[in-house]
Structure 1
């Protein structure tokens, strides 16, 4: 691979990961999709291979590698054709674990980050609420100080890994009257008394467990407060940059996989004595999709490069998620159409990909919300930075 971003070592990692997924994951995907649950053993295998620790410091069991190993990890996960499985893996590694890695104390990292790297604990991120959606500042879940701990009440929804996870990085209001300055982050063990999880029935991402979590007088020790009281909003906003870039990368990789599959199918499918890839109307539509995918992919690589250098990329990452997910949604639609009636059949991969891709412009902030965030950045000159230490 000739690239300004990927080295020979990156390419060797990609080949090794691709081989691992082919042997250890793909044979189980249809079962996990059908059952709506991912067996626990695969988390341990990912941990043993170091895949959850790509961006984690070696002192906590990680590998401390650059961001393009993460890019490869995300791209190859899309090729197993299960948005749900991919989401379960990256939500653990790049939603829950990112907060632990950046914001947790040493003791918290030892207790939660290291076992997460090893696949022994599964994490989730609890921000979205049933009545709030993308309105983080308007959350209603509270964490009220009580003695040497906090008592949490409220609910979260659309939480990937919320049913079978072990802990949740939970956002709650420690000062309900302080708006976004009253939000704090906690590490909450999901087996704590007072927590109930309701598994949601989804259009796509069938393999992953997505939950609505309810917290009824849940006691959390003060030692599980992360980043200090009142700093949660800034920490969440800054972490959203990585989440949105992750979803942008997922989208361009998903679109690339769909286009590759469609091109192979079109080269073999014949009508009126010639392959359908020889019909101009289809060729040009496929070219449009390929061009859009390449533009998003190269843009996403550029954002990843800036992020790896420590640059402030909230605007760029938000654009990545906005444009890439909308592009992938259209590519999935068009590629299903290329297959005709077979695209509508479950035995072909496009039906599942079409369903899974539809979540792209919704999850992690809808396209409409992202446009308003970008407007605030470029028009109102607003910044979304984490609080200074």
Structure 2
């Protein structure tokens, strides 16, 4: 397990911390919507070349990418672009580990040039219960026909290509398949765009499929084994949600420390009051706890550790809980100012999204318990 970043990785973290601040400063003057300028800046600075394999003009270095993500999340202040980067990183992992040579050549090159991917899992009646999905693949003489719908998909309104979770119609078990489709595929249409409480610069929405022709070459991995492939892909996202949740609070904590040192109350600055100190200390504890659990989960995942899937869920769960608790505490610390529309209130709204992004608390606790049973057996 990595207990500290190398000098080179520290340089990467510092570089992307500066980039995050640049993106944050620029976005304040922009209208609501996906930050294509920030996305393209990250592309131009080489963030995808850190994890795309060397034979596809990249480096395949997940710890350096983690350093970049950590630096970015410590200064960018809002999570939307971070969630987009995490989703794209999961797509890279899926292609590298499970893609065919032609899929890697086509889609990794697309990622390097800045194309935006989407992953469609949830359906209105099933949520993320993959075994209960109804979006179906029916085999034909020259491939499959895809029918159904997905909802709550990050990037659905703007995506260039998508990975879709489907059920093979002719199988009772081992019937999950993953399909890669380009946006202009006939029969694929976008639906309603979601109107969310927070994270409003991350566009989410629906995708619909009506008799979409899917060649065999568009299936990622082995048909029927899509569930295990999907878990391998999304486990990376789970731990990264925990990591960015930990680091998002960093600039707000710095601001709060300065505010507490200058805000007078009852003839002293409020940082002399123990209850204020506790709020600030608890934020720092949450930051450290979430960060190190995420590091441990990444180490386990990259090394195929038996507890990796469980620790990835723990990282996501702990990160979300700590971020929501810290954001709530900041609102209380600033009093009426914290409740006014502004950066602290926006953080509160965005933080609440982590309760469901990447899976709900209930889902992750169920997964952790299932993994505990598996390990015990």
State the TM bucket, normalised to the shorter chain. Answer: over 0.9
1:55–1:70 Cα contact (<8 Å) kept: no
1:97–1:123 Cα contact (<8 Å) kept: no
* Partner SS, residue 346 of structure 1: coil
Looking at structure 2, the residues matched to 193 and 51 of structure 1 have their Cα atoms a distance apart, in angstroms, of 32
User: Shift in Å at residue 307 of structure 1?
Assistant: 2.7
Structure 2 residue aligned with 1:27: 25
Deviation by residue 1:77-119 (Cα, 9 ceiling, x = unmatched): 3521222222122212x23222112111111111111220231
User: Shift in Å at residue 66 of structure 1?
Assistant: 3.6
CA, structure 1 residues 44+297, in 2 after alignment: closer, same or farther (shift >3 Å)?
A: closer
CA, structure 1 residues 186+54, in 2 after alignment: closer, same or farther (shift >3 Å)?
A: same
Looking at structure 1, the residues matched to 165 and 311 of structure 2 have their Cα atoms a distance apart, in angstroms, of 25
Structure 1 residue aligned with 2:282: 288
In structure 2, stretches of 5+ residues that fail to align are none
Structure 2 residue aligned with 1:84: 80
- Give yes or no for the alignment of 1:193 onto 2:186: yes
**RMSD between superposed Cα atoms in Å:** 2.1
2:81–2:202 Cα contact (<8 Å) kept: yes
User: Shift in Å at residue 367 of structure 1?
Assistant: 0.7
Given candidates 339, 347, 361, the residue that maps to 1:353 is 347
CA, structure 1 residues 358+90, in 2 after alignment: closer, same or farther (shift >3 Å)?
A: same
Given candidates 209, 230, 241, the residue that maps to 1:236 is 230
Structure 2 residue aligned with 1:378: 372
1:57–1:63 Cα contact (<8 Å) kept: yes
Correspondence 1:254-273 to 2 at 5 A = 254-273=248-267
Runs of 4+ with deviation above 6 angstroms: none
Structure 2 residue aligned with 1:37: 34
CA, structure 1 residues 125+74, in 2 after alignment: closer, same or farther (shift >3 Å)?
A: farther
Structure 2 residue aligned with 1:220: 214
* Partner SS, residue 358 of structure 1: helix
Looking at structure 1, the residues matched to 32 and 107 of structure 2 have their Cα atoms a distance apart, in angstroms, of 28
User: Shift in Å at residue 314 of structure 1?
Assistant: 0.4
User: Shift in Å at residue 216 of structure 1?
Assistant: 1.6
In structure 1, stretches of 5+ residues that fail to align are 384-389
Looking at structure 2, the residues matched to 381 and 289 of structure 1 have their Cα atoms a distance apart, in angstroms, of 32
Given candidates 324, 329, 332, the residue that maps to 2:327 is 332
Looking at structure 2, the residues matched to 263 and 169 of structure 1 have their Cα atoms a distance apart, in angstroms, of 43
TM-score under structure 2 normalisation? 0.92
* Partner SS, residue 198 of structure 2: coil
* Partner SS, residue 34 of structure 2: coil
Deviation by residue 1:111-145 (Cα, 9 ceiling, x = unmatched): 111220231x2111111111111211111101112
1:82–1:353 Cα contact (<8 Å) kept: yes
- Give yes or no for the alignment of 1:100 onto 2:95: yes
User: Shift in Å at residue 336 of structure 1?
Assistant: 1.6
Given candidates 164, 167, 173, the residue that maps to 1:170 is 164
User: Shift in Å at residue 261 of structure 1?
Assistant: 2.6
1:67–1:305 Cα contact (<8 Å) kept: no
1:97–1:113 Cα contact (<8 Å) kept: yes
Looking at structure 1, the residues matched to 294 and 91 of structure 2 have their Cα atoms a distance apart, in angstroms, of 22
Structure 1 residue aligned with 2:11: 12
Structure 1 residue aligned with 2:53: 57
User: Shift in Å at residue 204 of structure 1?
Assistant: 0.8
CA, structure 1 residues 88+254, in 2 after alignment: closer, same or farther (shift >3 Å)?
A: same
CA, structure 1 residues 256+16, in 2 after alignment: closer, same or farther (shift >3 Å)?
A: closer
User: Shift in Å at residue 317 of structure 1?
Assistant: 0.9
Looking at structure 2, the residues matched to 68 and 306 of structure 1 have their Cα atoms a distance apart, in angstroms, of 16
1:60–1:110 Cα contact (<8 Å) kept: yes
2:119–2:163 Cα contact (<8 Å) kept: yes
Deviation by residue 1:15-63 (Cα, 9 ceiling, x = unmatched): 222223333x22332355x422323x44333222210232221111222
Given candidates 118, 122, 129, the residue that maps to 2:113 is 118
